[in-house]
A and B are shown apart, each in its own frame.
Chain A
Amino acid sequence: MCGATEGGVSLEGVDVAKESVIQGVVKRDDQPVAGAYVRLLDRSGEFTAEVPTSATGHFRFFAAPGEWTVRTLAPRADVVDRTVVAQQGVVAEVAVAI
């Protein structure tokens, strides 16, 4: 199974201690944005994954430890890049404002 589920795969049943999770919410004027596209870029800027945000604006990735860039594309908005550091066993939270 390989489902780019809106918002990302649920953490239910996932052993978070073994994962380096990056997650967050995309907002416009403080309101969550559904259907934005959030992509995860590695240290070299290469694409690693992409998910559309959920109805509540959420997204989630299962990365490896290290520095990553979260890039957000949404209708009628400029591209927004945020850097984030992932660590194994930690859920790194990123807030994106577009």
Chain B
Amino acid sequence: MSRETTLVNADWVQQHLDDPKVVLVEVDEDTNAYDKGHLKGAIKLDWTKDLQDQVRRDFVSKAEFERLLSERGVANDDTVVLYGGNNNWFAAYAYWYFKLYGHDDVKLLDGGRKKWELESRELTEELPKREQTSYTAKEQDKNIRAFRDEVEQAIGAKNLVDVRSPDEFAGRLLAPAHLPQEQAQRAGHIPTAANVPWSKAANDDGTFKSDDELKKIYTDAGLDWGKDTIAYCRIGERSSHTWFVLHELLGEQNVKNYDGSWTEWGSLVGVPVVLGDEPGEA
């Protein structure tokens, strides 16, 4: 993977707005953002409804994902271009999710919705019409998804990257500061995790920094490039952003996203937790 195959800019999207084989997909943290205006032709995926099992805490099944994409008119050979608000947090999450179910050609719009808006580009409320398809997903690619037991075994053995803000890492905050802080889980981080906030990888306008800058950020943070890496955040969306940087932009092979993330780890009985700004001992 590389920047050329996984990232497109606003001009590229502008030129492909009427390309039937390019499906623009908006995924926002604020699931109403799409309804108030979106890129022309873009379909919406609601990450809380479309991408989550509505009973258990897990993703929709392969069959449900197939039904979803068929109904929304996404074909297996379509180029899926994801974008969203919040510096593409949830678009990156959906990107990782599409890759989890084996979609071939997925791209992220660099800078997402924010850069598009800041450049005063056109948004529409018109809903697109796409013909139904017969979408076939692959089995989940567990090479890019980490579960809690593997994370526990990774302490002191693999790179753990906590991509939350420094205050969340240290335990001074329990959630990103646009959310109320009273939460059920304990505060802190997983021992030995390096704190590399996702935001270090992005410019203020939400675009990704250059490969050289990115490589330096993780090297300076102590990432051992010879080891496998697991990224986590609070619910797995910001760590998808970092997974995208490490796996898709920098082409690192063994990088997983721990989507259980802090809302799971901080609620587990019997696991170690470190408070403060230092990574802590294994």
List chain A positions with a Cβ less than 8 A from chain B: 1-6, 8-9, 14-15, 18-20, 22, 35, 37, 39-40, 42, 44, 46-52, 60-64, 71, 73-76, 79
Beyond known contacts A2-B175, A64-B167: 5 more, CB 8 A cutoff: A48-B167, A49-B165, A50-B87, A63-B173, A75-B120
In the assembled complex, the Cα of A8 lies from the Cα of B119 at a distance in Å of: 23
Residues of B within 8 A of A1 (CB): 48
- Given known A-B contacts A2-B176, A44-B166, A18 and B86 have beta carbons under 8 A apart: no
Q: Mark B11-30, 1 if CB is under 8 A from A, else 0.
A: 00000000000000000111
Residues of B within 8 A of A47 (CB): 165, 197, 199
Residue from the set A2, A9, A40, A75 with the largest chain B CB neighbour count within 10 Å: A2
Chain B nearest CB, measured from A43 CB (Å): 9
Which of B31, B175, B180 is the one whose CB lies under 8 Å from A14?
A: B180
Residues of B within 8 A of A22 (CB): 177
Residue from the set B29, B179, B199 with the largest chain A CB neighbour count within 10 Å: B179
Which of B85, B182, B200, B237 is the one whose CB lies under 8 Å from A15?
A: B182
Instruction: Count how many chain B residues have C-beta atoms less than 8 Å from C-beta atoms of the other chain.
Output: 36
B172 at the interface (CB under 8 A from A): yes
Would B30 and A48 count as touching, CB distance under 8 A?
no
Would A2 and B29 count as touching, CB distance under 8 A?
yes
B235 at the interface (CB under 8 A from A): yes
Residues of B within 8 A of A51 (CB): 178
Q: Mark B70-87, 1 if CB is under 8 A from A, else 0.
A: 000000000000000111
Q: How many A-B residue pairs have CB under 8 A?
A: 98
B107 at the interface (CB under 8 A from A): no
Would B31 and A9 count as touching, CB distance under 8 A?
no
Chain B nearest CB, measured from A98 CB (Å): 13
In the assembled complex, the Cα of A64 lies from the Cα of B199 at a distance in Å of: 19
Residues of B within 8 A of A64 (CB): 167, 172-173, 177, 181
In the assembled complex, the Cα of A76 lies from the Cα of B180 at a distance in Å of: 31
In the assembled complex, the Cα of A3 lies from the Cα of B33 at a distance in Å of: 10
B118 at the interface (CB under 8 A from A): yes
Within 8 A of A (CB), among B89-114: 114
Residues of B within 8 A of A40 (CB): 177-178
Residues of B within 8 A of A76 (CB): 120
Chain A nearest CB, measured from B196 CB (Å): 11
In the assembled complex, the Cα of A54 lies from the Cα of B75 at a distance in Å of: 36
Find the A residue at minimum CB distance from B166: A46
Find the A residue at minimum CB distance from B237: A2
Would B30 and A49 count as touching, CB distance under 8 A?
no
